[in-house]
């Protein structure tokens, strides 16, 4: 059951990373619909994409060491963080 949940987390985190890369032009592009985000936003964005890709791998490593609970927590952390980010109201 833990392996199944880790595989699902890997698929969800991969889809989240693909979505982040897909919308990066709207954040950092040069067009009129771009937000023209600064350097700090770029660093945070890059960290979020890396976290989406590394978290499932770390979950599998922790599961291999016999720590199923922390493995699931680490693997699902980017997805839960993204859901919590949707709850934050817009600043305008």
For 30-56, letters b (16+ CB in 10 Å) and e give eeeeeeeeeeeeeeebeebbebbeebb
Q: Would you list the domain boundaries of the chain?
A: 2-86
Q: Half-sphere exposure (CA, 13 Å, Cβ side) for 3? A: 1
* Closest CA relative to residue 15, chosen from 67, 82, 84: 82
2-34 per-position pLDDT tens digit: 999 999 999 999 999 999 999 888 888 777 777
Residue with tokens 């493995």: 71
Who's near 28: CB < 8 A, 6+ residues apart? 34, 35, 36, 37, 41, 42, 45
Residue 49: the pLDDT is 95
Band (pLDDT 50/70/90 cuts) for residue 53 is very high
């Amino acid at each position: 059951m833990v392996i199944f949940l880790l595989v699902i987390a890997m698929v969800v985190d991969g889809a989240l990373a693909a979505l982040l890369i897909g919308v990066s032009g709207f954040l950092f592009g040069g067009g009129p619909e771009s937000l023209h985000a600064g350097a700090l936003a770029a660093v945070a964005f890059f960290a979020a994409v890396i976290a989406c890709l590394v978290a499932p791998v770390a979950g599998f490593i922790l599961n291999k060491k016999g720590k199923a609970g922390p493995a699931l927590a680490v693997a699902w952390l980017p997805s839960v963080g993204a859901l919590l980010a949707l709850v934050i109201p817009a600043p305008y």
